[in-house]
């Protein structure tokens, strides 16, 4: 049985990758940070396999990308065949508030992990979660040959992580591959990323728990895909004969405004009645236009995304409507009759922590 170690297992991608690897027969080990409250909400359902009632083949270990000894300890204890480095301070806006921390965890953290691999000398395969943010202000479409023009402390930290991964591949012969993934979303997406912020808000507005949605730049364009399809590429990349760097995206870009139109429109609302602009959500430097040219992934791995923009919005909307106890309009139900109930009971949600 193969063993995989996932850093960032409690995040969106970590949770989907765990499910995939378990279904492929792996024993999965995940690194989590110590927290004063539970931080495993996305993977709690995996502890127990519903099909046979036995414990799933997943184990969690405490560790942190900021701490070399914890990485060394986890790798020595697990002796993994594959390591997926998904952990990061992954929020671009937050990286402007915490540039040093982001550089330490997202950038140097990758070096610490690679050093631990080099020192233990095992024959491990390593996946680095690189990002389309590396391209920054480079003209779209962006492919593996597009020069990096990072535009945030997060992107600069990821550029360091990307290049140090290449350096350890070239210098020490480590089987290390980087997936340069464009934005990918799901019902498990963190609540402060723009897609989830929108779908949550639309559902809360319908439920009468929120009145307005405060947003930043509506004109930036992103190539949004569906996270479960993207974690499959991570795994397939490590099964390939040779290590490689690979761009993953749908090849279709939309503005944040279009996402708003689609999400509000899905439940029959006009976003302009609810959305307000708040300057706190603008970034000192913005990435205007990300669009993947992912033909190498198609040629190398035969990978093609199936879920497109409208389906993605629908999947996320349906999940957030369900969380609010509302039914999907996709089943022909009328949601609008009750949408104003309760507004008087709620003021706008606290937005200060909402990036």
From ligand NAP, ligand GDD, none, which one binds at residue 204 (CB under 5 to 8 Å depending on kind)? none
From ligand NAP, ligand GDD, none, which one binds at residue 39 (CB under 5 to 8 Å depending on kind)? ligand NAP
User: Which of 144-152, 176-184, 239-247, 268-276 is the region at the interface with ligand NAP (rule: CB under 6 A)?
Assistant: 176-184
DSSP strands (E only) in the chain: 3-7, 27-32, 58-62, 82-85, 125-131, 175-181, 184-185, 213-215, 221-222, 225-226, 245-248, 254-255, 275-277
The question of whether 154 is a catalytic residue gets the answer yes
User: Counting contacts by CB under 6 A, is residue 96 touching ligand GDD?
Assistant: no
Instruction: Please pick, among 131, 165, 199, 250, the residue that the annotation labels catalytic.
Output: 131
CB nearer to ligand GDD: pick between 124 and 204: 204
Q: Burial level of 217, CB count in 10 A (0-12/13-18/19+)?
A: middle
Q: Burial level of 110, CB count in 10 A (0-12/13-18/19+)?
A: buried
Q: Distance between CA 313 and CA 260 in Å, rounded?
A: 9
Q: Read off φ and ψ for residue 123, nearest 5 degrees.
A: -95, 50
Strands 213-215 and 125-131: unpaired
Instruction: Please pick, among 154, 226, 266, 289, the residue that the annotation labels catalytic.
Output: 154
- What DSSP string runs through 256-301? HHHHHHHHHHHTT--GGGTEEE-GGGS-SS---B--B--HHHHHHH
How many residues bind to ligand GDD according to rule CB under 6 A?
23
Beta carbon of residue 93, minimum distance to ligand GDD (angstroms, whole number) = 6
User: Which of 7-15, 118-126, 255-263, 290-298 is the region at the interface with ligand NAP (rule: CB under 6 A)?
Assistant: 7-15
Residue length of the chain: 355
Query: And the tokens for 342?
Result: 């309760």
Collapsing DSSP to helix, strand or coil, 179 comes out as strand
User: Counting contacts by CB under 6 A, is residue 146 touching ligand GDD?
Assistant: no
User: Which of 15-23, 187-195, 202-210, 327-335 is the region at the interface with ligand GDD (rule: CB under 6 A)?
Assistant: 187-195
Q: Distance between CA 146 and CA 300 in Å, rounded?
A: 18
Which residue among 2, 39, 77, 285 contacts ligand NAP (CB under 6 A)?
Answer: 39
The question of whether 131 is a catalytic residue gets the answer yes
Q: Which residues bind ligand NAP (CB under 6 A)?
A: 7-8, 10-14, 33, 35, 39, 64-66, 86-90, 105, 129, 131, 181, 183-184, 190
Q: Which residues bind ligand GDD (CB under 6 A)?
A: 90, 92-93, 131-133, 182-183, 192-194, 197, 215-217, 220, 222, 256, 281, 283, 286, 290, 355
List the catalytic residues: 131, 133, 154
């Amino acid at each position: 049985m193969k063993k995989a170690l996932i850093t960032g297992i409690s995040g969106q991608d970590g949770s989907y990758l765990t499910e995939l690897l378990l279904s492929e027969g792996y024993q999965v080990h995940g690194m989590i940070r110590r927290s004063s409250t539970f931080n495993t909400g996305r993977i709690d359902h995996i502890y127990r396999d519903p099909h046979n009632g036995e414990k799933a083949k997943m184990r969690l270990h405490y560790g942190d990308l900021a701490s070399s000894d914890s990485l060394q300890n986890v790798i020595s204890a697990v002796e993994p065949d594959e390591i997926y480095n998904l952990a990061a301070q992954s929020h671009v806006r937050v990286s402007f508030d915490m540039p040093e921390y982001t550089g330490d965890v997202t950038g140097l953290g990758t070096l610490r992990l690679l050093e631990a691999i080099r020192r233990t000398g095992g024959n491990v395969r390593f996946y680095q979660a690189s990002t389309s943010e590396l391209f920054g202000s480079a003209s779209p479409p962006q492919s593996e040959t597009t020069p990096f023009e990072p535009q945030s402390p997060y992107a600069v930290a990821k550029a360091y992580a990307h290049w140090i991964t290449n350096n350890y591949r070239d210098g020490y012969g480590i089987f290390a591959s980087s997936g340069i993934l464009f934005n990918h979303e799901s019902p498990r997406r963190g609540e402060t990323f723009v897609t989830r912020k929108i779908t949550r808000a639309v559902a809360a507005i319908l439920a009468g728990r929120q009145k307005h949605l405060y947003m930043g730049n509506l004109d930036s364009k992103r190539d949004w895909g569906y996270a479960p399809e993207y974690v499959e590429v991570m795994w397939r990349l490590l099964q390939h004969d040779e290590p490689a760097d690979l761009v993953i995206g749908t090849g279709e870009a939309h503005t944040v405004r279009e996402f708003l139109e689609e999400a509000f429109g899905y439940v029959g609302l006009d976003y302009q009645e609810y959305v307000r602009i708040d300057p706190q959500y603008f970034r000192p430097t913005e990435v205007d236009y990300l669009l993947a040219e992912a033909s190498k992934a198609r040629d190398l791995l035969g990978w093609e995304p199936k879920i497109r923009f409208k389906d993605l919005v629908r999947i996320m909307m349906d999940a957030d409507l369900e969380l609010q106890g509302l039914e999907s309009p996709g089943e022909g139900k009328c949601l609008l009759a009750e949408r104003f109930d309760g507004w008087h009971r709620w003021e706008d949600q606290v937005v200060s922590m909402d990036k």
